Structure 1
Amino acid sequence: MIRLRLAVVALSLFILAMVAGAAPSFAEDKDVSAELENLDLEDLLQVEMVSPSERKQSLENIAGSYTILTEEDIRRSGARSVPEALRTVPGVVVTRTDTDKWAIGVRGFSGTFNSKQLILVDNRPITSPYFHGVIWSSQNLPIQMVKRIEIIRGPWTSLWGSESFNGVINVITKSAAEMQGNQSVTTAGTDGVSQFIRKGGHISENATIAVYAKGGYEPGTNYRIRGRTEKGSTDWTTGSGGFRADWLNAYTDQFSLQGQLAGSSITEHSPPGNPFSANKDKSDYSGYTQILWDRKTGARSGMQFRSSYTRTEITVADMENMSNTVDAEFIYSNEQFEDHLLTFGVGGKYFWDDFKQGEKVQVSNDSIYRLDFSGFAKDRITLIDEKLFLTLGLKLDYSGDSSLAPQPTARLLYMEDDEEYWVAYSYANRKPGYWLRDGSYRIRVRDKEYTMDFSDDLDNEKLNSFEAGYRKLFSETLKLDVSLYMNSYDQMVTFSFDDDTSTATPISGLSGLSYGTEIAFDWQPYSFLILRPSIDISNQDFQKVPDGIPGFSPPLNTPLYNLKLQALIELAKNWELGLFTSYLNSMDDKDLSTGFGFDARLAWQARKNLSLELIGNNLLTSADESNFSPVEPSCTLRLTWDF
């Protein structure tokens, strides 16, 4: 406990010192109020777009591969959870491996404990510091709270550090001002039932608050996994409640305070495609609170301070884990000499985990403590006005159990009329997660069981990433986005199997290449029809890749293609139809077919404040022709009432 208090005090003093050190620079800016009074409406909208970290702004005109799912996109997709909303994104593979488990992968890596991308909610990391994956069963964020989802494919290490190995997914929730009034959302169908309710109001003229609660029940279903039908977990009961309060001072300061408590219980069945389940009842709990201060000191300058505390209690097979995380970051941005937009930031994270050991899953220590620090600097240089921009960035990550890890990035963007060309280079260097260095558990590989023999003697995983892209706006109704990438991986964690002792040992012995292209169109041929086709073609060339390690995210070591098509149709006034189909398979003799996934949504806006939706999932999936999919299709009725 003493170590915890000392660490929290040290982290707080470090952040406050950086804030104090940056404060004198504000005196050099123009008077903010006077400057804002002279801006017209269009300029004021641009001020809203400028954020110190460039995380809140629109991702237009950046040298990178990205997709933004707006609130309208999410609603019309029929998604009932964040993982479901990500299915339509090029380069992202979403697999529901059990009733309460998802595997999300970006550019070729996927697994229940996939550690190859960083996932955030309002810039708060929800990736487990210990497991290096997202335990989705403990999140339970209502999809009705989500304003947009930003998906950045490729490493953005100079801004988010080594955790953004293959990409970043940032879920942005609605402000309290955007959740005024009352809303009720009721769903019922073959997948179960749920109820969401929200109420928003004013605290004062400039302050708003919203509170919400959600409960649900899913009976569970069976899944087709690697050619076999596996019984999924059953009786999944979930509940969550939270709040958000915002205070806005003119156009300069914004304070936000938010928090949530969530819990779930389920009867697990093992194995539903991964080894981290057991034949038992289990319960998971989570909660967080976050404070954010965003201050704009000028039309092209500002700062941001964010801090959060997160606590989760989860069960992995028969081991119980209680995790606590305190993190804070300070970011400052300012335009210098009109050609340089400088951004720098510092942050820290302290986490401590306690474990109640199980018989099947154990770790070497009952408690783990770690304090991480990081700092970054970035300069967006205008080489040719409104045409050519160079971004140089560097982030330094320091972990309590490893050396300083530099993460540099260079990005070049050229814009000409309705076209954009960009190239980028990024380097990532990170220590493998604790779960690979400290855990002891059993896994089944090729119908044989092995006991994990953990090892702390692992090298840092390294990535050199080269990217290029092209975007063109042919007209107001037709857009094209093309991305190409080549990633060179070194010292990646793989496993050495000893059949005599039936043990599997993690080793830093995997190197190889991953390369591919993502092509996406956004086309509105008629006023009532929007088509969004995409194709993702990738290839992985690694040596000595063990097959069939469940739960982790080894490369598939095969050329793949992933076809997706979304159609949004306005059938008539107040009637909408949404269709989505996808197909993933290999281009060699490895059959990785997921079948033709097909989802549909029919919506009727009965009144201005009342809508009814009929949502069908996995409508064309055949259990005899696909892997990693529910055996049975599902149908859900969703009623949304604003009152």
Structure 2
Amino acid sequence: MIRSRLAVLALSLLILVTVAGISPCFAADRDVSADLDNLDLEDLLQVEMVSPSERKQSLENIAGSYTILTEEDIKRSGATSVPEALRTVPGVIVTRTDTDKWALGVRGFSGTFNSKQLILVDNRPITSPYFNGVIWSSQDLPIQLVKRIEIIRGPWTSLWGSESFNGVINIITKSAAEMQGNRSVTTTGTDGVSQYLRKGGHLSENGTLAVYAKGGYEPGKKYRIRGRTEKGSTDWTTGSGGFRADWLNAYTDQFSIQGQIAGSSITEHSPPGNPFSADKDKEDYSGYAQILWDRKTGARSGMQFRTSYTRTFLTVTDMENISNSADAEFIYSNEQLEDHFLTFGLGSKYFWNSFKQGEHVQVTNDSIYSLEFSGFAKDRITLIDEKLFLNLGLKLDYSGGSELAPQPTARLLYMEEDEEYWLAASYANRKPSYWVQEGSYRVRVNDKEYTVDFSGDLKNEKLATIEAGYRKLFSETLKFDVSLYLNNYDQMVTFSFDDTTDTATPVSGLCGISYGTEVALDWQPYSFLTLRPSIDISNQDFQNIPPGIPGFSPPLNTPLYSIKMQALIDLAENWELDLFSSYVNSMDDKDLSTGFGFDARLAWQVRDNLSLELIGSNLLTTLDESNFSPTEPSCTLRLTWDF
């Protein structure tokens, strides 16, 4: 553990020394999206954005349920990590299951290894190709790098493929031009300490570079798990460093290269309900590099090429895994005959994993290799000029040893002045993750231990869904958004328990439906006050659900009510008070936080280049009867200094 902490410190110092010669620049140089930070939602609807996946489609033509968290939204939420920032989003359930572990779900599914949504950073998948979930402890993405987060609920498989089963979360980071100058962000409090440093400068007249380093330490805390107080993992030390360079050529070509390396160490404990921790010290490492080339060939046409390589080393209880992944995609879009906006794309991904088997967790093979291909085509057809649009899309996914998986969708959008009506039908067909097809470990379910034997022959999971929604801009200060959905799941992976052999085997035997609605309001009744209430009501109806394996996002099979309220208050000049409260009731005891939550943030802009924030989390812990939640409130002081 000491070696890991010294390595993290050395990495941070090395990056800062390396860039000491870069001359900072505070001029007005910016990339093509630098003005977007100052735009409201109604303005964003009129500009071209990256959603979804740089598919050259403006948000006004998205017939689906989405939320955009801007940099200002993220700051005023008081979030110190990406999962924390997502708590305010309707239809998204975020649970911290341990000091370094998060369970994140969209529209009802949740779990440490939840594989029902795709999560990307700058369009680079961070979902593990082997576990099909995000191992947040190996990411360590500084929240200060994030420009915005785009959350698209519902299956977008015709664009993203089978991984976007229940939705897509795309984390967009700032360009190097937006990170000029020097910045220091220091946080300290009951949850530990962290330090973030960034330096930006010019490489050439059209080239910019930014580098950063971050280190942190959390002592750990106790959690309430199924009515009992359990000790969480302790002594979590993290560190990361990275860079981004951008070149812009006459606003037609943009070339970017970025990368990061990160490491962490922690003393794990294995509380009930978290079978992926062990009573031992562990270390995780990760790194990635990505190249992006974007060319605009016309006012409504363009192409993009992106490629990346990611490597991670992580431990699952006593099994060690080294994962390598390389992917590439090419996208071309062009408007044809004014009535058709065509987008085509090709992609491939190759990953190879090696394992060092443990005594408690094993997999069938010591190494595994996989090559996957995909292609998609989409057409936005204008049926009535500036009013009625039909989006038709199809994506084909193929991986070795499996059948071709088609992912079709149709989306209809009607626009009338400040109103939008949309209707969508989609079909998803996804291969179960490698993790549920091979391997073995022991887990306690209902006070009895079983050996989970991943040796069954599993079929592809399938989803057919119908969605509808309505958006209206009543005025500059009042916006309304409602969506409804009906999902029909088939051949979902579940577990068959054999009490005679004490084994649990995954089988493709679960089917059922889920349905619900999401309602969100953005209201500014006074110039100093903005209110953002939302309510998410969903229900799942699955037959013959066996006891769930903790961490594997089983269906809740019960009504789920999630009510959220965010209040943004400008107390006085240079003073802000932000409040966030939530109530979740699942009427179940699955891996899901239920009960009340209350967070607060008080911010003071001391000078133009200096701000101070006091952030309180889990402040109503005495009223909280939840599962998987910290037992004590936390208080954090955050100092941001530009110099």
- State the percentage of identical aligned residues: 86
Residue correspondence of structure 1 range 239-278 to structure 2 within 5 A: 239-271=239-271, 273-278=273-278
TM-aligned CA deviation for residue 442 of structure 1: 1.0
TM-aligned CA deviation for residue 68 of structure 1: 0.2
Residue correspondence of structure 1 range 67-466 to structure 2 within 5 A: 67-271=67-271, 273-466=273-466
Deviations 1:596-620 (A, max 9, x none): 1000000000000000000000000
Q: Which residue of 2 aligns with 1:501?
A: 501
Cα distance in 2, alignment partners of residues 393 and 488 from structure 1: 20
Go from structure 1 to structure 2 and tell me whether the alpha carbon gap of 1:430 and 1:589 turns closer, same or farther (over 3 Å shift): closer
Where 2:621 maps in the other structure, the secondary structure is: coil
Where 1:438 maps in the other structure, the secondary structure is: coil
Deviations 1:56-98 (A, max 9, x none): 7653441000000000000111100000000000000000000
TM-aligned CA deviation for residue 546 of structure 1: 2.1
- Contact 1:577–1:600 (CA under 8 A) maintained in structure 2: yes
TM-aligned CA deviation for residue 443 of structure 1: 1.3
Cα distance in 2, alignment partners of residues 109 and 589 from structure 1: 13
Where 1:72 maps in the other structure, the secondary structure is: helix
Count of residue pairs the alignment pairs up: 601
TM-aligned CA deviation for residue 271 of structure 1: 2.4
TM-aligned CA deviation for residue 586 of structure 1: 3.5
TM-aligned CA deviation for residue 55 of structure 1: 4.7
Cα distance in 1, alignment partners of residues 195 and 264 from structure 2: 15
- Contact 2:489–2:513 (CA under 8 A) maintained in structure 1: yes
Q: Which residue of 1 aligns with 2:535?
A: 535
Cα distance in 1, alignment partners of residues 163 and 341 from structure 2: 25
Cα distance in 2, alignment partners of residues 224 and 258 from structure 1: 39
Cα distance in 2, alignment partners of residues 437 and 477 from structure 1: 51
Q: Which residue of 2 aligns with 1:34?
A: none
Residue correspondence of structure 1 range 24-39 to structure 2 within 5 A: none
Q: Which moved more, 1:625-634 or 1:71-80?
A: 625-634
Q: Which residue of 2 aligns with 1:616?
A: 616
- Contact 2:553–2:591 (CA under 8 A) maintained in structure 1: no
TM-aligned CA deviation for residue 52 of structure 1: 9.6
Cα distance in 1, alignment partners of residues 150 and 415 from structure 2: 22
Go from structure 1 to structure 2 and tell me whether the alpha carbon gap of 1:383 and 1:54 turns closer, same or farther (over 3 Å shift): farther
Go from structure 1 to structure 2 and tell me whether the alpha carbon gap of 1:48 and 1:58 turns closer, same or farther (over 3 Å shift): closer
Q: TM-score, normalised by structure 2?
A: 0.91
1:106 alignment partner AA? V
Deviations 1:301-358 (A, max 9, x none): 0000000000000000000000000000000000000010000000000000000000
Cα distance in 1, alignment partners of residues 624 and 412 from structure 2: 48
Q: TM-score, normalised by structure 1?
A: 0.91
Cα distance in 1, alignment partners of residues 372 and 146 from structure 2: 29
- Contact 1:397–1:406 (CA under 8 A) maintained in structure 2: yes
- Contact 2:56–2:302 (CA under 8 A) maintained in structure 1: no
Go from structure 1 to structure 2 and tell me whether the alpha carbon gap of 1:136 and 1:272 turns closer, same or farther (over 3 Å shift): farther
- Contact 2:556–2:586 (CA under 8 A) maintained in structure 1: no
Where 2:401 maps in the other structure, the secondary structure is: coil
Where 1:278 maps in the other structure, the secondary structure is: coil
Go from structure 1 to structure 2 and tell me whether the alpha carbon gap of 1:108 and 1:489 turns closer, same or farther (over 3 Å shift): same
2:537 alignment partner AA? I
Go from structure 1 to structure 2 and tell me whether the alpha carbon gap of 1:155 and 1:196 turns closer, same or farther (over 3 Å shift): same
Where 1:568 maps in the other structure, the secondary structure is: strand
Cα distance in 2, alignment partners of residues 47 and 487 from structure 1: 31
TM-aligned CA deviation for residue 54 of structure 1: 4.3
Cα distance in 1, alignment partners of residues 547 and 428 from structure 2: 26
1:386 alignment partner AA? E
Give the RMSD, CA atoms, in angstroms: 1.8
Cα distance in 1, alignment partners of residues 324 and 298 from structure 2: 37
Cα distance in 2, alignment partners of residues 571 and 624 from structure 1: 29
- Contact 2:46–2:60 (CA under 8 A) maintained in structure 1: no
Q: Which runs of 5+ in 1 are unaligned?
A: 1-42
TM-aligned CA deviation for residue 45 of structure 1: 12
Go from structure 1 to structure 2 and tell me whether the alpha carbon gap of 1:47 and 1:474 turns closer, same or farther (over 3 Å shift): closer
Q: Which moved more, 1:254-263 or 1:400-409?
A: 400-409
- Contact 1:488–1:514 (CA under 8 A) maintained in structure 2: yes
Where 1:177 maps in the other structure, the secondary structure is: helix
1:520 alignment partner AA? A
- Contact 2:51–2:58 (CA under 8 A) maintained in structure 1: no
Q: Which runs of 5+ in 2 are unaligned?
A: 1-42
Go from structure 1 to structure 2 and tell me whether the alpha carbon gap of 1:298 and 1:463 turns closer, same or farther (over 3 Å shift): same
Residue correspondence of structure 1 range 594-633 to structure 2 within 5 A: 594-622=594-622, 625-633=625-633
Q: Which residue of 1 aligns with 2:19?
A: none
TM-aligned CA deviation for residue 501 of structure 1: 1.0
Cα distance in 1, alignment partners of residues 218 and 359 from structure 2: 29
- Contact 1:372–1:399 (CA under 8 A) maintained in structure 2: yes
2:195 alignment partner AA? Q
Q: Which residue of 2 aligns with 1:582?
A: 582
